[in-house]
Amino acid sequence: MNSLKKIESWPVENAAAALVSADGKVLDTAGDQDRRFPLASVTKLLSAYAVLIALDEGALELDQPAGPEGSTVRHLLAHSAGYDFGERTVRYEPGSRRLYSNAGFEVLGETLEEATGIPFAEYLSQGVLQPLGMGATSLEGSPAAGAVSTAGDLSRFAAELQSPALTDPGRLAEATRVVFPGLSGVLPGFGRQKENDWGLGFEIRAHKEPHWTGTKSSPATFGHFGQSGTFLWVDPQAQAALIGLSDRDFGPWAAEAWPAYTDGVLAELGIG
């Protein structure tokens, strides 16, 4: 696909991309598929998936208390527990607003550790990375933003997100639908959104404008982007997932380049 090769026009030193179909086939790649990139907040997709597995195993429950008073595991996953972005200061009553929070994901990781007696990084490795053959991926810091991975490994994860084998398909379907609909909030890098829709760890594209996916992306598109210049989205309508990794921090360049890049890929898939 010619559109995938346009990653070479990004104003970065190194970048890699991969397009994965709903049946798990890697349709095309660009750049070094084995180069490791810090994922920043794309880490949250991996961490959320580990939590889904813990839910399946009965180690956690969505409505069990976690975080500030009145908050639950569900609130933490959906960025609605009321925590500040980086500090454990409670800014809002749980469930009243979408306040994107790294702190919330760190509490989530601690909650899983307490429930299982297993360090979060180890649980993630045993539950997600090893079964998917993601040998080049590791969690080297916070469950919110500390993973390092490759386009090749994330292609395996993108296949899992489209045809789950590690968690119940119904569980993933629930995680990729809007939780606490109608909450307003700020989408980092793109400003205030009247309806800042989010699932259980997965950002939902819905009708947000502006957005880091494309103008052709379906409202059901879900995924995440990272401050390190990375993204992963799954578009059920297109029956495909796209991974984009770079070594330049997110900024105006990405807000301009990524939507056009996505639209080019979708156009080649016949979405327009």
Q: What is the pLDDT of residue 183?
A: 97
Average pLDDT, the chain: 97
Segment 192-239, tens digit of pLDDT: 999 999 999 999 999 999 999 999 999 999 999 999 999 999 999 999
> Residue 96 CB: number of other CB atoms within 10 A?
14
C-alpha distances in Å from residue 142, one per residue of 39, 46, 131:
11, 12, 21
The answer to whether residues 259 and 212 touch, using CB atoms and an 8 Å cutoff, is yes
187 alpha-carbon distance from chain centroid: 13
- Cα 152 to Cα 14: distance, rounded to the nearest angstrom: 15
Q: Which domain holds residue 217?
A: 2-268
Structural domain count of the chain: 1
Buried b (16+ CB within 10 A) or exposed e, 27-40: bbbbbebebbbbbb
Q: What is the pLDDT of residue 226?
A: 98
Percent of the chain with pLDDT over 70: 100
C-alpha distances in Å from residue 81, one per residue of 4, 47, 71, 103, 141:
38, 17, 5, 10, 22
Q: What is the pLDDT of residue 2?
A: 86
> Does the global pTM surpass 0.85?
yes
Segment 82-107, tens digit of pLDDT: 999 999 999 999 999 999 999 999 99
Residue 228, judged by CB atoms within 10 A of its CB (0-12, 13-18, 19+), counts as buried
Q: What is the pLDDT of residue 272?
A: 75
Percent of the chain with pLDDT over 90: 99
Q: Assign residue 221 the CATH number of its domain.
A: 3.40.710.10
Find the length of the chain: 272
